[in-house]
Structure 1
């Protein structure tokens, strides 16, 4: 993208993707549609120059294509025009859709992050930095710490069922914790708003202390 785009920078892409999350929520699109949309956008931006005033047009056109591929009842072209306050006409959306499809050679199916997430959660790979089981255990550890920071987030039962001692989870827990803290106040506000919804128990409103006591990674006494 850095070699091709002269009028668009990564920050503009972030804003577009954050907005596309809102659009996906508005039209209740499945997550596969969103991942496929991002794949189309990034691939197109990596090969074709786009003016900044056409970036949103590219985004909705890619989502239109992804919706037709993934959704049972995809939104119509008019819906995507409406979501942009009719900044773009139906003809412009259809024209950009055609350009993207030609670029894709009409091969709309492609592996996305979601595709590999499904694979990696079914089969742990020895060459992964963190196994899926470890990431899951670490997420439980950090969730417990976030909710009750003064209580030890791990216990004998969790150690038995997960197969992990606190010391073995330390690196993974700290890595996820760092991501949790670094996202405060940054972009992707739509993602945060998504997980502020009641159906997700408002988890985005939760925050954990900046430091995890080292004692929490020590051996648990039975």
Structure 2
């Protein structure tokens, strides 16, 4: 290689030394230094800036003080931690308390609540008995298509909320039911039934176009907000809170008896006015009473995780109890048959619908637990 070629080859470091850097000149002249992509990043740790407000704490609001005091009292009481040692990621044990606190705030929102007496106020052609027959039939439909229980609960929620504001002709009540179940199935199921399936289950009483039109009306009324906490949402957690002192052979019986009583509540129009969390808590209360009538069914753990005292559940418990012992709508048998027969598909139901329950609940059971 010639000397000329060697002389013309200049490294970048030598060039910086021989030629003043444009960036350095700009800095000297007071101009803003242009940012070089990834050029000014360093691996050196950055020392945190001193916080002038460090050590100062914002005073708690009165509600926060009360909440903190309640939590401290509950921690010091004899309450079982149902989230300790749980390794199921779907239960989210680290965030379960916050999640359910948020769900409890959602369930009281007016837009997610049906009117407790919409039959008397709004409906002119639909009665409470018609509603009960529709719900009983929808339980059979859910069993026929093997739908999740969450789908059934969400369906009834849509129906009650729609009927709370929209007068409906009795001839369209079944149409409202199948269209609501179609929406709930699309929201909850992996492979929901088709529109034609719901037309078929009504013996083609309604056409495909009618079902789709009613589906559109319901969605517009809901403003496409299909998610909603239901009885089943809270029942899962309350059952876990109520299992701490249940004898191990009765674990499954307690779980499915609670589910059976919760589904019975769907038929009872008087339960529409209660919050889903109250109905779930009342179902657990009555299930524990059925399994062990001689012991107070409520515990410190249940009071902590449900947030309800026994006296707050009394009305709802009595309504479900009347359904359980057959004093009301005894002719509607879909839920009873579902939990009574020892089917191959549902051997886990343990025939809980056949279990005997005392005809009266002691008044003392609705007093505060000691």
Q: Is this a same-fold pair by TM over 0.5?
A: yes
May I ask how many residue pairs the two structures share in their alignment? 184
Which has the higher relative contact order, 1 or 2, with Cα contacts under 8 A spaced 6 or more apart? 1
Change (3 A) 1:64 1:207: same
The answer to whether the Cα contact below 8 Å between 1:24 and 1:34 also exists between their aligned partners in 2 is yes
Aligned counterpart for 2:292 among listed residues 127, 130, 141 = 141
Structure 2: distance between partners of 1:189 and 1:131? 21
Determine the C-alpha separation between the residues in 2 that align with 1:135 and 1:179.
11
Q: Secondary structure at the match of 2:166?
A: coil
Computing the radius of gyration from Cα coordinates, the structure with the larger value is 2
Conserved 8 A contact 2:142-2:152: yes
- The answer to whether residue 200 in structure 2 is matched with residue 49 in structure 1 is no
Q: Matched residues in 2 for 1:97 and 1:64: separation?
A: 8
CA contact (8 A) 2:162 2:218 kept: yes
Give, in whole Å, the separation in 1 of the partners of 2:188 and 2:140. Answer: 18
Q: What does residue 340 of structure 2 align with?
A: 196
Structure 2 residues without counterparts, runs of 5 or longer: 1-117, 243-277, 296-300, 302-313, 362-370
TM-score (ref. length: structure 2): 0.44
Structure 1 unaligned spans of 5+: 143-152, 155-161, 163-171, 213-222
Which range moves more in the overlay, 50-59 or 196-205? 196-205
Give the Å deviation of 1:211: 7.4
Inter-partner Cα distance in structure 2 for 1:131 and 1:9: 25
Deviations 1:48-103 (A, max 9, x none): 11100000000000000000000111000000000000000000000000000000
- C-alpha separation in 2, matches of 1:187 and 1:113: 24
Output aligned runs, 1:1-222, within 5 Å.
1=118, 2-122=120-240, 137-142=288-293, 179-183=323-327, 186-198=330-342, 199=347, 200-207=349-356
Partner SS, residue 195 of structure 1: helix
Q: Is the 1:120–1:132 contact (alpha carbons within 8 Å) kept by the matching residues of 2?
A: no
Change over 3 Å in CA distance of 1:113–1:203 after alignment to 2: closer
State the alpha-carbon separation in 1 of the partners of residues 358 and 287 from structure 2. Answer: 20
Taking a change above 3 Å as real, the CA distance of residues 107 and 209 of structure 1, as seen in their structure-2 partners, is closer
* 1:208–1:88 distance in 2 versus 1, CA, 3 Å: same
Give the superposed CA RMSD: 3.3
Give the conservation status (yes or no) of the 8 Å contact 1:15–1:187.
no
Quick one: structure 1 residues 91 and 39, their matched pair in 2 at CA, closer, same or farther if it must change by over 3 Å? same
Per-residue deviation at 1:188? 3.2
Distance in 2 between the 1:203 and 1:210 partners?
Answer: 16
CA displacement at 1:115 relative to structure 2: 1.5
* Pair 1:76–1:182, CA change in 2 (3 A): same
